[in-house]
């Protein structure tokens, strides 16, 4: 025992503070990689990484979402160089971007439509996870991180939509921030605090701009966690069967990368077509009228991607309960891994759950339609039916089907699955699995 250490001899263990080395590369790359293992990690996680060989095109949407996010940030940075976040200047600065700034029209239309396509991709991505049971053990945390990202996407898309300071921006901001006034006692105080004023105005716009940026980068952070978790638990696949050895898998590059590339190109093609030929199709014409705090447009609607949740808000005649229902309609997704406890992952082998999921998709579109219509008469009735099914899907159907459903016979391995599929013994989407 030394004078400077109180550890006895038997308590010693060696330490490894110096870990330089171990890179599979040589030369400059090896030198860097020995000290900062980014190349090794990249090789391990993106070149040699094993994925099930049954993945179909639904698995391309993760990569597509990544591309959307990157381009949203690039176009957002470019817009930020010309945009002015003040109530007096915002609308005109956006018009200036559209008319005067070099390629401003292109950059803004790209940013606007990318936001929409981001949601198209995320909805397909979520559908994939629902249909193939990707939320189940061991991928629950990925699912929860995904829902967190979805909430943040909603927040940042809402904030972004307020920035051009048109009529829809202004009244959307008013209605959505007022949702907080439903909170008993402190609600009004919270709303005033959010606004920094007694109504939505200059103060609100300025902070919305700051938060619009911040949340975009928070999304990047959570996406990193989402991907790290993916590389621990591995990809699910249409059969829902875990791969056992390399006979069931292919390496990420070049197989998955090239398949993803095809998916991305098709997606980009559709995106560019919409952006160039119908750039305002997914938006609302009233947002080209400057914000007017004295007049509400006759029919305010949110962006298309919020319509189903807006329909749920309006289906409930009570203010506080409406808000609670809307928030929980998304939050409840987070409970699905525990509400659906069937041991079988993929709906391919779950004849009843499969129908429930298809009905859920129909319900989503029904609510989307209702959300765009005025809240009266038949639309209120449809909205209520849609809302009831939405919640019943999680709270009632998921556990009941888990208990009573008799799954179809399952193949033992991914190879056997492919074999059965080829022989027509199982029916799936013919989506190039």
Interacting residue ranges for ligand HEM, rule: CB under 6 A: 69, 72-73, 76-77, 79-80, 83, 94, 108, 111-112, 115, 118, 153, 156-157, 160-161, 163-164, 212-213, 216, 219, 283, 287
Task: Name the percent of the chain in helix, strand, coil, to the closest 5.
Answer: 65, 0, 30
Which of 25-33, 186-194, 215-223, 240-248 is the region at the interface with other proteins (rule: CB under 8 A)?
Answer: 186-194
Residue 418 Cβ, how far from other proteins at the closest point, in Å?
Answer: 52
Among 199, 246, 253, 280, binds other proteins (CB under 8 A): 199
How many angstroms separate the CA atoms of 97 and 164, rounded?
A: 11
Distance between CA atoms of 428 and 348, rounded to whole angstroms? 6
Select from 306, 257, 330, 273 the least CA-distant residue to 63: 257
Q: Within a 10 A sphere around the Cβ of 273, how many other Cβ atoms?
A: 10
Residue 376 binds: one of other proteins, ligand HEM, none (C-beta under 5 to 8 A by kind): other proteins
> Tokens 């006895």 belong to which residue?
8
Least Å from the CB of residue 363 to ligand HEM? 25
Residue 156 interacts with, from ligand HEM, other proteins, none (CB under 5-8 Å by kind): ligand HEM
Q: Which is nearer to other proteins, 184 or 424 (CB)?
A: 184
Contact 107, 82 (CB under 8 A): no
Which residue, 129 or 329, has its beta carbon nearer to other proteins?
A: 329
339, interface contact from ligand HEM, other proteins, none, CB < 5-8 Å by kind: none
User: C-beta of 319: minimal distance to other proteins in Å?
Assistant: 5
Q: Does 188 bind other proteins (CB under 8 A)?
A: no
Tell me if 254 contacts other proteins by CB under 8 A.
Answer: no
Q: Which two tokens stand for residue 153?
A: 């996407």
| Residue 15 within binding range of other proteins, rule CB under 8 A | no
Nearer to ligand HEM, 72 or 145 (CB): 72
Handedness of CA 221, 213, 181, 329 (dihedral sign): negative
Q: For residues 154 and 230, which CB has a smaller minimum distance to other proteins in the complex?
A: 154
User: Which pair of structure tokens corresponds to residue 266?
Assistant: 């098709």
- Minimum distance between the CB of residue 223 and ligand HEM, rounded to whole angstroms? 10
Q: How far apart are CA 419 and CA 241, in angstroms?
A: 14
Q: What is the DSSP string of 44-111?
A: IIIIS-EEETT--GGGGHHHHHHHHHHHHHHHHHHHHTT---STTTHHHHHHHHHHTSTTHHHHHHHH
Q: Shortest gap between Cβ of 107 and ligand HEM (angstroms)?
A: 8
Binds 115: which of other proteins, ligand HEM, none (CB < 5-8 Å by kind): ligand HEM
Separation in Å, CA 171 to CA 35, 201, 369: 54, 11, 21
- Candidates 288-296, 328-336, 383-391, 411-419: pick the segment binding other proteins (CB under 8 A): 288-296
C-alpha distance from residue 254 to each of 25, 48, 49, 232, 287 (Å):
20, 9, 11, 20, 45
What count of other Cβ atoms lies within 10 Å of the Cβ of residue 409? 8
Beta strands in 292-381 (DSSP E): none
Extract the tokens encoding 162: 């307020």
Pick one of 84, 319, 354, 384: the residue that binds other proteins (CB under 8 A).
319
Coil, strand or helix: which one is 36? coil
Active site residues: 231, 235, 259-260, 303
> DSSP assignment, residue 285?
G
Q: Does 297 bind other proteins (CB under 8 A)?
A: yes
Nearest-approach distance from CB 168 to ligand HEM, in angstroms: 8
What is the contact surface with other proteins in residues (CB under 8 A)? 171, 174-179, 181, 192-201, 203, 207, 293-300, 314, 317-319, 322, 374-376
């Amino acid at each position: 025992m030394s004078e400077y250490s109180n550890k006895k001899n038997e308590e010693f263990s060696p330490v490894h503070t110096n870990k330089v080395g171990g890179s599979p590369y040589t030369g400059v790359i090896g030198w860097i990689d020995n000290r900062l293992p980014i190349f090794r990690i990249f090789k391990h996680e993106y070149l040699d990484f094993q994925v099930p060989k049954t993945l179909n095109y639904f698995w391309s949407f993760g990569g597509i979402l990544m591309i959307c996010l990157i381009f949203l940030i690039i176009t957002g940075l470019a817009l930020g160089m010309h945009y002015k976040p003040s109530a007096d200047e915002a609308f005109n600065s956006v018009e200036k971007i559209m008319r005067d700034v070099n390629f401003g029209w292109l950059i803004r239309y790209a940013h606007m439509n990318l936001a929409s396509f981001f949601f198209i991709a995320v909805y397909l991505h979520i559908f994939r996870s629902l249909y193939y049971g990707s939320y189940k053990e061991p991928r629950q945390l990925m699912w929860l991180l995904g829902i967190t990202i979805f909430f943040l996407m909603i927040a940042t898309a809402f904030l972004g939509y307020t920035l051009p300071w048109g009529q829809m921006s202004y009244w959307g901001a008013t209605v959505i921030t007022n949702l907080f006034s439903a909170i008993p006692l402190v609600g009004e105080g919270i709303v005033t605090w959010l606004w920094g004023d007694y109504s939505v105005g200059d103060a609100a716009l300025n902070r919305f701009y700051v938060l619009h940026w911040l949340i975009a980068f928070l999304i990047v952070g959570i996406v990193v966690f989402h991907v790290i978790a993916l590389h621990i638990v591995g990809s699910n696949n249409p059969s829902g069967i875990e791969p056992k050895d390399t006979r069931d898998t292919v390496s990420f590059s070049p197989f998955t990368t090239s398949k993803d590339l095809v998916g991305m190109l098709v997606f980009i093609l559709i995106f560019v077509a919409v952006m160039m030929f119908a750039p305002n199709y997914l938006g609302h014409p009233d947002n080209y009228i400057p914000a007017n705090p004295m007049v509400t447009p006759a029919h305010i609607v949110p962006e298309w991607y919020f319509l189903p949740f807006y329909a749920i808000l309006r289906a409930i005649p009570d203010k506080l309960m409406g808000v609670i229902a809307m928030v929980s309609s998304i939050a409840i997704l987070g409970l699905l891994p525990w509400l659906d406890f069937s041991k079988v992952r993929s709906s391919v082998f779950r004849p009843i759950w499969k129908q429930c999921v298809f009905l859920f998709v129909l319900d989503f579109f029904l609510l989307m339609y209702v959300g765009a219509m005025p809240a009266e008469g038949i639309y209120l009735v449809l909205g209520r039916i849609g809302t009831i099914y939405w919640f019943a899907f999680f709270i009632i159907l998921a556990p009941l089907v888990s208990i009573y459903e008799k799954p179809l016979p399952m193949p033992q391995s991914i190879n056997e699955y492919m074999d059965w599929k080829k022989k027509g013994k199982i029916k799936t989407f013919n989506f190039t699995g």
